[in-house]
Amino acid sequence: MKKSILKNALYKITLNFFNLVIPLLIGPYVFRVLGSESIGRVKYAESIFNYFFIFASFGVYQYGLREISRIKHDKQKVTKVFTSLFTISLLTNLIVFAIFVLVSFMGFGQDVIFPVLLIFGINFVLNVFYVEWMNEAFESYDFITIKTIAVKLIYVILLISFIKNSDDYMWFAVLLVISTFLNNIISFVYVKKKIAFNFKEIEILPHIKPMFLVVIFMNGNILYTQLDIFMLGRFVSEASVSFYIMSQQMMMIISTLLLSIVQVTIPRLSHMLGSEDEESYLLLIHRVARVYFLVLFPAAVGLFIISDIGVVVYGGKEFAAAGPVLSIFSFYMVLLGIDSIFSNQVIYIKKKENILVRFIFISGLLNLILNIGCVYFGIFSPETAILTTAISTFVLVIMEYIYIRKKLRVPFRILSFQNLKYLLFSLSFFPVSMIIKHFVSGIFTQFVLLITVNVGLYVLLLLISKDDLLQDMISRVLNKLRKR
């Protein structure tokens, strides 16, 4: 049965909204209780772990989502691909796990982060059972939403129970692993009830090359934010890592929620191209891009405006120095969103990931060179780290856009007036925010007023301009209410 994209998007947005609320409620507690040094220590260890985890995962999620989406109506083919990818995941995780333990012992055996690294290492075993890509391919967003919310609530209860002071940073790492265990095992059991293993017809080698390409392009953050975190921990301080991480986390809370609009359409777009329905594909990506920009631009401008007080509200006065970092992350969020549309909805869907890998390598290498230059000249900091990443991502977006227009010949206009209109409306936040900051005192009062007034202003401008997307959304909601 064909599932509604609107219903899928609502489930995905509900899930990501919950994922937004939990960090907003728990994040301030964790940052205040653990402090900048302990948070920085855990996140520095996690950045090292992530380098290995990328190769352990081996692109199974993204590759499996695309391939299963194309054949999901053929149960025999689905069983064959599922078993093959599960086997590959088992092998890659066990091999990388062994290498990770060896490197951790030899390189960090005497370091304070060594126990944290070993705790994170458990994730390699748990990752074998991470089959959420099957649920996404079959658009089972109802199950994903309910399951994830339940696991998150358990995590929150355990977090409040066990994290009491800055010495509990190892318990913090343990709880992250426990939440991963619950999430993966529940999904694995759910999928196995529907799809059986068939090891007689598994194929390994045909999947290796395309999966390796997916590893590179879907994990380009190894040359971007993960590189920033590692270099900050290595050349600056653990506290600087915490400033960067908190700003990144605040940006990602918003970005993840917005990217729901993009993510839920990937299975449908992939299926359209598999059915050679190019016209429907083009109509859908243009509409999705417009809806995305309708929320992306005001979110980014709003994040920039509240950056100086937002970090204090979220993490306390100890993190006030993270304000400039968050302001740069707001620009980066726009670039990240555009890159997600170009890479996921166009280039990857059209199976041109080999080209995408080249683009990511070029811009990632640029980021590495810029970071090394900042270290050499003694100006490397959380601010310059994310600034170099933003510059590199901008170069990546330009290369992707030229390729899409010139080589793939997809008539996709990212800078259309319909899209840029939302940016122009969002810029009206600046004069209004200056007035509020001038006449209103108190960080929390300013914070609430800035968000409330600017959201109201943006909706008002959309109503005055008779924006067709907003009118369509309102009419859909009213129709649903009338039917009830």
In this predicted structure, what is the pLDDT of residue 1?
44
Tell me which of 74-83, 207-216, 271-280, 398-407 is least confident: 271-280
For the segment 318-332, what is each residue's pLDDT rounded down to a tens digit? 889 899 999 999 999
CB-based contacts of 313, cutoff 8 Å, min separation 6 = 28, 443, 444, 447
- Distance linking the first and last C-alpha atoms of the chain: 23
As a whole number, mean pLDDT of residues 42-62 equals 88
- Asked if the model's pLDDT at residue 6 lies above 80, the reply is no
Rounded alpha-carbon distances, angstroms, from residue 243 to 116, 117, 122 = 20, 21, 27
For the segment 137-173, what is each residue's pLDDT rounded down to a tens digit? 887 888 988 898 899 899 999 999 999 998 999 999 9
As a whole number, mean pLDDT of residues 353-366 equals 87
The answer for 411, left when phi > 0, alpha when psi is -120 to 50, beta otherwise, is: beta
CA angle at 290 for the pair 307 and 15, rounded to the nearest 5°: 65
> Is residue 57 a contact partner of residue 262, using CB atoms and an 8 Å limit?
no
> Is residue 111 a contact partner of residue 45, using CB atoms and an 8 Å limit?
no
- Asked if the model's pLDDT at residue 359 lies above 50, the reply is yes
In this predicted structure, what is the pLDDT of residue 277?
56
User: How far is 109 from 396, CA to CA, in rounded Å?
Assistant: 38
**Domain extent at residue 29:** 1-218
| Residue 340 pLDDT grade (very low, low, confident, very high; cuts 50, 70, 90) | confident
- Asked if the model's pLDDT at residue 130 lies above 80, the reply is yes
- Asked if the model's pLDDT at residue 276 lies above 60, the reply is no
> Is residue 412 a contact partner of residue 404, using CB atoms and an 8 Å limit?
yes
- Asked if the model's pLDDT at residue 272 lies above 70, the reply is no
> Is residue 195 a contact partner of residue 82, using CB atoms and an 8 Å limit?
yes
**Which residue type sits at 219?**
N
Given 218, 236, 271, which residue is the final one in a domain?
218
Whether residue 224 sits in one domain with residue 137? no
User: How far is 210 from 356, CA to CA, in rounded Å?
Assistant: 12
CB-based contacts of 483, cutoff 8 Å, min separation 6 = none
Whether residue 355 sits in one domain with residue 380? yes
User: How far is 430 from 458, CA to CA, in rounded Å?
Assistant: 12
> Is residue 382 a contact partner of residue 319, using CB atoms and an 8 Å limit?
no
Whether residue 324 sits in one domain with residue 288? yes
Residue 17 domain flag: yes
For the segment 391-440, what is each residue's pLDDT rounded down to a tens digit? 999 999 999 999 998 988 888 777 788 888 999 999 999 999 999 999 99
Given 417, 444, 474, which residue is the final one in a domain?
417
In this predicted structure, what is the pLDDT of residue 430?
96
> Is residue 174 a contact partner of residue 122, using CB atoms and an 8 Å limit?
no
For the segment 166-183, what is each residue's pLDDT rounded down to a tens digit? 899 999 999 999 999 999
Whether residue 169 sits in one domain with residue 280? no
Residue 432 domain flag: no
In this predicted structure, what is the pLDDT of residue 23?
72
- Asked if the model's pLDDT at residue 270 lies above 60, the reply is no
Query: Quick one: which of 40, 26, 20 has its CA closest to 162?
Result: 26
Whether residue 109 sits in one domain with residue 15? yes
Tell me which of 220-224, 240-244, 432-436, 448-452 is least confident: 220-224
Whether residue 229 sits in one domain with residue 157? no
> Is residue 61 a contact partner of residue 82, using CB atoms and an 8 Å limit?
no
For the segment 184-200, what is each residue's pLDDT rounded down to a tens digit? 999 999 999 989 898 88
- The sign one gets for the Cα dihedral 288, 291, 294, 296 is negative
CA 68 from chain center: how many Å?
22
**Token pair of 349 as six digits:** 């869907």
HSE-CB for 343 with a 13 A CA cutoff: 28
User: How far is 323 from 82, CA to CA, in rounded Å?
Assistant: 45
Strands (E), 97-230: none
CB-count burial class (<10 Å; 0-12, 13-18, 19+) for 116: buried
User: How far is 13 from 288, CA to CA, in rounded Å?
Assistant: 14
As a whole number, mean pLDDT of residues 432-449 equals 93
| Residue 5 pLDDT grade (very low, low, confident, very high; cuts 50, 70, 90) | low
CB-count burial class (<10 Å; 0-12, 13-18, 19+) for 164: exposed
In this predicted structure, what is the pLDDT of residue 52?
92
CB-based contacts of 347, cutoff 8 Å, min separation 6 = 353, 355, 356, 400, 403, 404, 408
Residue 62 domain flag: yes
In this predicted structure, what is the pLDDT of residue 419?
84
In this predicted structure, what is the pLDDT of residue 291?
82
Whether residue 273 sits in one domain with residue 184? no
Higher pLDDT, 13 or 3: 13
- Asked if the model's pLDDT at residue 62 lies above 90, the reply is no
Query: Quick one: which of 33, 44, 249, 43 has its CA closest to 162?
Result: 33
CB-based contacts of 384, cutoff 8 Å, min separation 6 = 374
Whether residue 106 sits in one domain with residue 94? yes
| Residue 227 pLDDT grade (very low, low, confident, very high; cuts 50, 70, 90) | confident
- Asked if the model's pLDDT at residue 260 lies above 80, the reply is no
Cα Rg of the chain (Å, integer):
23
Residue 69 domain flag: yes
The structural domain count of the chain equals 2
| Residue 372 pLDDT grade (very low, low, confident, very high; cuts 50, 70, 90) | very high
Tokens 């040094």 correspond to what residue?
37
Whether residue 264 sits in one domain with residue 401? yes
For the segment 297-306, what is each residue's pLDDT rounded down to a tens digit? 999 999 999 9
Given 198, 218, 238, which residue is the final one in a domain?
218
Whether residue 229 sits in one domain with residue 134? no
In this predicted structure, what is the pLDDT of residue 234?
85
In this predicted structure, what is the pLDDT of residue 414?
76
Query: Which percentage of the chain shows pLDDT scores above 70?
Result: 89
User: How far is 445 from 38, CA to CA, in rounded Å?
Assistant: 30
In this predicted structure, what is the pLDDT of residue 309?
94
CA angle at 120 for the pair 152 and 252, rounded to the nearest 5°: 50
Residue 481 domain flag: no
Rounded alpha-carbon distances, angstroms, from residue 144 to 63, 135, 141, 190 = 19, 7, 5, 10
Higher pLDDT, 253 or 173: 173
Residue 475 domain flag: no
Residue 194 domain flag: yes
DSSP class of 163: -
Tokens 């700003």 correspond to what residue?
247
Higher pLDDT, 365 or 287: 365
- Asked if the model's pLDDT at residue 99 lies above 90, the reply is yes
In this predicted structure, what is the pLDDT of residue 162?
92
CB-based contacts of 381, cutoff 8 Å, min separation 6 = 236, 240, 374
Query: Quick one: which of 174, 171, 213 has its CA closest to 59?
Result: 213
Whether residue 240 sits in one domain with residue 157? no
Whether residue 162 sits in one domain with residue 48? yes
Round the average pLDDT of the chain to a whole number and report it: 86
Query: Quick one: which of 400, 272, 381 has its CA closest to 328?
Result: 381
Residue 461 domain flag: no
